[in-house]
Amino acid sequence: MENKPIARRLRLLSQLMELHEVNPFKIKSVANASFKVDKLPFAVAGKTLAELEKVEGIGKSMASKIHELVETGTMTDLEDLLAATPEGVVDIMGIKGIGPKKVAIIWKDLGIENTGELYYACNENRLIEAKGFGLKTQEEIRKAIEFKMASNGKFLYAQITKEANDLLNKIETVFVDALVEFAGEYRRLCEIISKLVIVLGSRDQQMAFDSFTKSNILQNISLNKNHITGELANGLLVDIVCVEKRYFYKELFMQTGNEEHTTAVLGRTKDEFDQPTSEELIYKKAGLEFIKPELREGDTFIAKAESNNLPQLISYKDLKGTLHNHSTWSDGVNTIEEMALYCRDTLKLEYLGMCDHSKSAFYAKGLSIERVLQQQEEIDHLNKKLSGFKIFKGIESDILNDGSLDYPDEILKKFDFIVASVHSNLKMDEEKATTRIIKAVENPYTTILGHPTGRLLLSRKGYPIDYKKIIDACAANNVVIEINANPLRLDLDWRWHQYALEKGVWLSVNPDAHRIEGFLDMRFGVLVARKGGLSKDKCLNALSLPAIMQVFEKKRG
Ligand SMILES: [Zn+2]
Ligand SMILES: [Zn+2]
């Protein structure tokens, strides 16, 4: 029998002991035993307790622990420590390059309890504030987490756009005369990608396969019927579907999916037709307006396409400003002025809404009342200085446990607008979360509901909410719902955009930028807003400066 699993359990024990600051001598003896067991020339499983005690460098007390482990599969000490540690924290310990001392700081000082939160904190630059961490460590941790996320085969859309486009370009260079297009989840702009599908229309399949095997474009390449499958260097599964050119558009339509959608569309076409010369033709035959790939989920938009009533989807250039952003006043990296200049000069926007954290968010240097007033003075000063641009005084107010906002009314009324978000006590059942959020939505000062579920894609589920009740409350109280554009959040989920829009609720594509590069996340927010069917006339930050000023003023009464 192998000693490796035993050594690994002992190592976990020593790490947990270190995390919980047990006597250093004891930690050392467990760590040594782990090392020793790993290197033994015989299996410890076959040994009696007495035999183990005689092994050099193990000693009596460690021998009994190892014996217990072999006999029962675990150790009382280990179970006790595991019970005292959140599961997500144990998970963090498994990330390469983060020792127990660092994990202790992450958990105890920063209040981070799982890998998803840690990844988000790296992106928010929150780690560099902590003792013993620097920009370099933060970057290493971020990379290690990305590696770990990739190992379960799923990727955030934003994580793979570059690789996906590089691959498509390479294929286009190899197959000059071919028809090539993305299909599947990626073409439908899904927030999570488990497989990259590409349809290739060429004259000769065998030739296509030969070129691929020679080209090194993909790893672990194999051919199955007309599918060439393989992996990218980052582990993303790739499926290239090769067909003759004349079948290309039908195949593209089928491979784009989703299945429920293609079935619904084809169910409406009477005659068989295998060689449409465009996708538009397929929809036409089905008596439908052309449905863009991002809207092809089930039958959601089919009735609208039938009555020529599809939404005019928003695009990035429709955005006129950006709301919900953080500066050095709380946990951001850039000053308000740097952010404003970037928005005005590089992004050509008309306004910037600052929403630093409110006072309860101590981990993010949330603003005390005094600091709020100082920040507003700075914004007044900058607004005088910056011509042709406006900075709005906002705040990302914590929704406290009882649903109230984080400042007294006389302070709340000083803001131009308020984003209300939940950041603490995330472990709630649906009823509690829904009541808490509705209370905040009913607060007359709330302008926008921020990231409604607190989810972090691929790593934290988010608290359960009754979407309908919350959206109905937003409709009743004239509150806009955020589409948080951070690729990890994309919250409000696109599956609820239509319901919100039907109820008359507006949406806002908010980058939640913590540095100037963060503004670019709005591109991902727009993609997911398109998927939800948002048009620019229902998007708060697609309003021009004079129009949004009116909205804010009206809300504040
Ligand atoms: Zn937030
Ligand atoms: Zn924020």
Beta carbons within 8 Å of 168's beta carbon, 6+ residues apart: 180, 182, 198
**Ligand 2 centre distance from Cα of residue 98 (Å):** 26
Tokens 């790993």 belong to 38
The tens-digit pLDDT sequence of the chain (557 residues) is 478 888 989 999 999 999 999 999 999 999 999 988 888 888 888 888 998 898 887 888 899 999 999 888 889 999 999 999 998 999 899 887 788 999 999 999 999 999 989 999 998 888 888 888 888 889 889 988 887 777 678 999 999 999 999 999 999 988 888 999 999 999 999 999 999 999 999 887 777 778 888 878 888 888 888 899 999 988 899 999 999 999 999 999 999 999 999 999 999 987 777 789 999 999 999 999 999 999 999 999 999 999 999 999 999 999 999 999 999 999 898 999 999 999 999 999 999 999 999 999 887 889 999 999 999 999 999 999 998 899 999 999 999 999 999 999 999 999 999 999 999 998 899 999 999 999 999 999 999 999 999 999 988 889 999 999 999 999 999 999 999 999 999 999 999 999 999 999 999 999 999 999 999 999 999 999 999 999 999 999 999 999 999 999 999 87
CA of 329 to the centre of ligand 2 (A): 12
User: How far, in Å, CA of 164 to CA of 170, rounded?
Assistant: 10
Distance CA 351, CA 360 (A): 27
The total of other beta-carbon atoms located within 10 Å of residue 42's CB is: 11
| pLDDT at residue 124, as a whole number | 83
Which residue type, as a one-letter code, is found at position 79?
Answer: E
- Distances, alpha carbon 482 to alpha carbons 34, 419, 454, in Å: 50, 9, 12
Spell out the residues 6+ positions from residue 536 whose beta carbon is closer than 8 angstroms to its own.
312, 314, 315, 318, 542
Between the CA of 425 and the centroid of ligand 1 the distance, in Å, is: 13
Question: What's the 305 CA to ligand 1 centre distance in angstroms?
Answer: 36
Expressed in angstroms and rounded, the spacing between residue 81 Cα and the centre of ligand 1 is 32
- How far is it, in rounded angstroms, from Cα 211 to Cα 504? 53
Beta strands at 179-183 and 507-510: parallel, antiparallel or unpaired: unpaired
| Contact between residue 326 and residue 123 where contact means Cβ atoms under 8 Å apart | no
Q: Which of 327, 325, 295 is nearest to 310 (CA)?
A: 295
**Residue 90 near residue 30, CB atoms below 8 Å:** no
Q: Give the Cα separation of 77 and 415 in Å (integer).
A: 53
Element at 104 (helix H, strand E): helix 100-104
Chain position carrying tokens 């697609």: 542
Q: Among all ligands shown, which has an atom nearest to the Cα of 355?
A: 2
Q: Which residues contact 51 (CB under 8 A, 6 or more apart)?
A: none
Q: Give me ligand 1 centre to Cα 522, in Å.
A: 15
Rg over CA atoms, the chain? 28
Distance 495 CA to ligand 2 centre (A): 22
Q: Quick one: pLDDT at residue 151?
A: 66
Half-sphere exposure at residue 303, Cβ-oriented, CA atoms within 13 angstroms: 1
pTM for the model stands at 0.84
Ligand 1 centre to CA of 297 (Å) is 29
Whole-angstrom Cα distance, residue 418 to residue 399?
11
Pairing of strands 480-484, 227-231: unpaired
Contact 531, 485 (CB under 8 A): no
Q: How many residues does the chain have?
A: 557
Dist. CA 317 → ligand 2 center (Å): 23
Could you give the dihedral angle defined by the CA atoms of residues 548, 552, 553 and 557, in that order, rounded to the nearest 10 degrees? 150
Separation between Cα atoms, residue 351 and residue 373, nearest integer Å? 20
**CA distances to 170, 332, 345, 383, 533 from 478, in Å:** 49, 29, 32, 28, 20
Asked whether 532 and 314 are in contact (CB, 8 A), the reply is: no
| CA 105/CA 111 separation, integer angstroms | 8
Ligand closest to Cα of 326 equals 2
Looking at the CA of 332, name the nearest ligand.
2
- Give residue 345 CA to ligand 1 midpoint distance, Å: 26
Q: Residue 522 Cα, ligand 2 centroid: separation in angstroms?
A: 14
Tell me how far the alpha carbon of residue 282 is from its chain's centroid.
34
Which residue bears the tokens 């790593």? Answer: 459
What is the secondary structure of 292-337 as a DSSP string? PGGG-STTTTHHHHHTT----B--GGG--EEEEE--TTTT-SS-HH
Give dist(CA 531, CA 257) in Å, integer: 14
Rounded to the nearest angstrom, the gap between the alpha carbon of residue 174 and the centroid of all alpha carbons in its chain is 34
Residues whose CB falls within 8 Å of the CB of residue 515, separated by 6 or more in sequence, listed in order: 125, 332, 333, 334
